[in-house]
Structure 1
């Protein structure tokens, strides 16, 4: 095998090498069936076994929270931005949203098309370089739910703790940091995530929700967009993205092998601290973009003194085998996405490159 790239892509992102190698071995003939998992009927016993195993393994990693159900859907978080208000926003209610950046903004825009919305807190005035405190949160009295984005990939900000929303269900888009740390599921009504950052390949969206939130969808919305449709059919109402779900199950096995969410969190903290320390100890050559108390452990955003220097950094990094370090086009700068599957060795190599680049270009 040729040398693997140092993959810091924001999504689709790095997958564990061990998972890719296992999938490679099983790609043509899964478990001596004479077929790839992609060729099987989703109604067959072999695939349904994989499907159920992925559901159970996911809940197990989260501590088997009582009353929660797993749905494997399609359309990414972007479809969930519409499905959530479709299903959860009742007549006479308000959807409360926490505005922390681009992805939260897209969720708000979709909700506005479907009912009354309220921005419960916003950090727009700080250019979305921090998350709001619990004290800033002003939830509408008749809120159907409170929605927030746990980690904003573009700004590189992340909630370290989640606000207490009382009796109002907390709905969280965890597309970019799901299973990166232990969670107290009693805080949430629903969490959801596109798989392509921490769970597997693109193509499947995971929803983990309290059963009472998703078992009675409004009758007037299309069948395919009703949570209770997918709940009552075990996520098999229509043909699921079977290979992507198989890959999610393999990634979940890999997380178990790392020591579960506690083990993954330890490694993620080490990786993030390594790169943030390099930024903070560069005598101003590198400057972290996000406020220090809101820094993401998944997406590290930073700048250099000039855009010309940033372009030189990108060019040199690509020549050295690094992929995905260019910041999002909407904000520029630099970004290292260090999701669960990005090895510590890749982060160490990046720090060494950063120091070498500073020696060559610093004053």
Structure 2
């Protein structure tokens, strides 16, 4: 593989579109004739304000965000939001959490520091559990709609019909498909999967949920305060916002299978995932353990049935230009994260390697 960069299957920070990286490099010393790098700009100066406004405008367009949702550019990542959300929404009361894997389990544990947490349903990391036991007096219901470690994804958002707001952690599939905002009270996610470099956290919060923060909530994490200041209450992650804005421009212009924008991105993601799962299911050396109806399009964990071959697999994959395929330390095995910026050619190269490795070692 000498004609292109290696294919990076990291779960995050993850691969970025090459045109975006090239534009960042070209503008590194001088953005738009300003004589400054974006990293050197005041977050309150007209240059950066124009960057931030364009980024929010393009993001709203891509995801069809309704006007009664505020878009916040924050910091702290998904783990930070596990505390920030209950500090803003729980009012010290009750929170229901549906546990579908590693990240929702972390969310439940963190929220217990601020609220009465009830695990409404719990799966085994391979499926979406049924028979949710929701409380009508909960402040909100928390769901991780794509489990990055376990590879479990809600392909349709759950309908919470008791009037309790639904909070979704969509870190690892944000911008990979549309969001049904009619079912959501708040959505959050770290940017370092599909959107940009680590450091930026995106929060979409319905306006009626503002203004309920606990007294212990830091001002910089109070959604009402951040919204009132248009995400400029403190210095935001300016460079990460700039890169995210370039990714949004790339996404709007993206074309695939006769489609453009988010529809094109979603279709390519469907095709990439189908190709990889078909290869895994058709092999005798590998297995994916997630139920077929909730397999993630973004994060594909798999295991070699003979684990003695793990080291050889990773060594040979790296030599073939296929990087970061080692699974999360808590579950082992392998994991291929095939986010928006991963081209179809990258998945095709991985599938070819899977078949070749099995032919030689199976």
TM-score range, shorter chain: over 0.9
C-alpha displacement of 1:141: 2.1
| Equivalent residue, structure 2, for 1:159 | 154
C-alpha displacement of 1:217: 2.7
For 2:218 and 2:344, locate their aligned partners in 1 and report how far apart those are by CA, in whole Å. 45
Matches within 5 A, 1:209-248: 209-248=205-244
| Equivalent residue, structure 2, for 1:13 | 14
C-alpha displacement of 1:2: 8.0
Matches within 5 A, 1:122-141: 122-123=122-123, 127-133=124-130, 136-141=131-136
Matches within 5 A, 1:34-45: 34-45=35-46
Matches within 5 A, 1:50-129: 50-91=51-92, 93-123=93-123, 127-129=124-126
Unaligned runs of 5+ in 1: none
Q: Which runs of 4+ in 1 moved over 3 A?
A: none
For 1:63 and 1:153, locate their aligned partners in 2 and report how far apart those are by CA, in whole Å. 24
For 1:16 and 1:66, locate their aligned partners in 2 and report how far apart those are by CA, in whole Å. 29
For 1:66 and 1:243, locate their aligned partners in 2 and report how far apart those are by CA, in whole Å. 26
> How large is the RMSD of aligned CA atoms in angstroms?
1.4
Tell me which moved more, 69-78 or 212-221: 212-221
Q: How many residues align?
A: 355
| Equivalent residue, structure 1, for 2:250 | 254
* Residue pair 1:131, 1:157 contacting (<8 A) in 2 also: yes
CA 292–26 in structure 1, closer or farther in 2 if over 3 Å, else same: same
C-alpha displacement of 1:310: 2.2
For 2:146 and 2:65, locate their aligned partners in 1 and report how far apart those are by CA, in whole Å. 23
Deviations 1:275-331 (A, max 9, x none): 11111111x221112111111000111111121122221121112111111111111
For 1:237 and 1:65, locate their aligned partners in 2 and report how far apart those are by CA, in whole Å. 23
C-alpha displacement of 1:75: 0.9
* Residue pair 2:73, 2:236 contacting (<8 A) in 1 also: yes
SS for the counterpart of 1:90 is: coil
Match of 2:141 among 138, 146, 162: 146
For 2:265 and 2:136, locate their aligned partners in 1 and report how far apart those are by CA, in whole Å. 38
* Residue pair 1:155, 1:289 contacting (<8 A) in 2 also: no
| Equivalent residue, structure 2, for 1:279 | 280
For 1:85 and 1:143, locate their aligned partners in 2 and report how far apart those are by CA, in whole Å. 11
